[in-house]
């Protein structure tokens, strides 16, 4: 490793913000031979994981509140407005973060995410919900869509 690359690599450990500014400057100037590839790859992978985790968490929250809205009759009169506001808030956060790549990721993970939301909703409500996700990704993301209430009490 050359002294310049060693200095940039050690900058990652000692002054992350300065390392980041340096990486951006090197990229803008197309000085790719001076990039700290090891740490840059690590940061890009972490960024991707963080973005996926954030949108997955929001989808779980939307689904959980859709289940409350559709099935939790005992709490309907007291909480339906709150659930609707929560659904809108989580969908808005999703809209602000969603890219085509993240949307495709969510489509592949919808059943898994439903399972997590279902489990939390069942613990909270002491109800049983459908085994399979009753909502499409389009419905989960649609800011105006709400499910019909199930007629079972």
77, part of any domain: yes
| Residue 82 located in a structural domain | yes
On the question of pLDDT at 149 being above 90, the answer is no
- Domain of 80, in residue numbers: 53-141
Q: For residue 109, tell me if it sits in a domain.
A: yes
146 in any annotated domain: no
Give domain status of residue 3, yes or no: no
In a domain, 75, yes or no: yes
Instruction: Give pLDDT tens digits for 29-43.
Output: 999 999 999 999 999
Are 140 and 62 in contact by the 8 Å Cβ rule? The answer is: yes
Residue 125 lies in a domain: yes
Question: Within 13 Å and on the Cβ side, how many CA atoms surround 15?
Answer: 8
How confident is the model at residue 153, as a pLDDT? 43
Could you give the CA distance from residue 109 to residue 112 in angstroms, rounded to a whole number?
Answer: 5
Where do we find the tokens 């790549």? 101
Q: For 86-120, write each residue's pLDDT tens digit.
A: 999 999 999 999 999 999 999 999 999 999 999 99
Q: Exposed, middle or buried, 80 (CB in 10 Å: 0-12/13-18/19+)?
A: middle
pTM of the model: 0.84
Task: Tell me if 129 is assigned to some domain.
Answer: yes
């Amino acid at each position: 490793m050359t002294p310049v690359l060693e200095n940039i690599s050690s900058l990652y450990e000692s002054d992350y913000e300065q390392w980041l500014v340096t990486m951006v400057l090197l990229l803008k100037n197309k000085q790719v031979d001076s990039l700290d590839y090891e740490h840059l790859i690590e940061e890009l992978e972490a960024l991707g994981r963080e973005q996926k985790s954030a949108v997955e968490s929001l989808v779980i929250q939307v689904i959980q509140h859709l289940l409350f809205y559709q099935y939790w009759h005992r709490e309907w009169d007291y909480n339906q407005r709150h659930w609707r506001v929560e659904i809108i808030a989580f969908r808005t956060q999703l809209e602000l973060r969603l890219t085509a790549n993240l949307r495709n990721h969510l489509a592949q993970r919808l059943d898994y995410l439903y399972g997590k939301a279902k489990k939390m909703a069942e613990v909270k409500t002491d109800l049983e919900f459908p085994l399979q996700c009753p909502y499409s990704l389009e419905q989960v993301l649609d800011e105006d869509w709400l499910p019909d209430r199930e007629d079972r009490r």
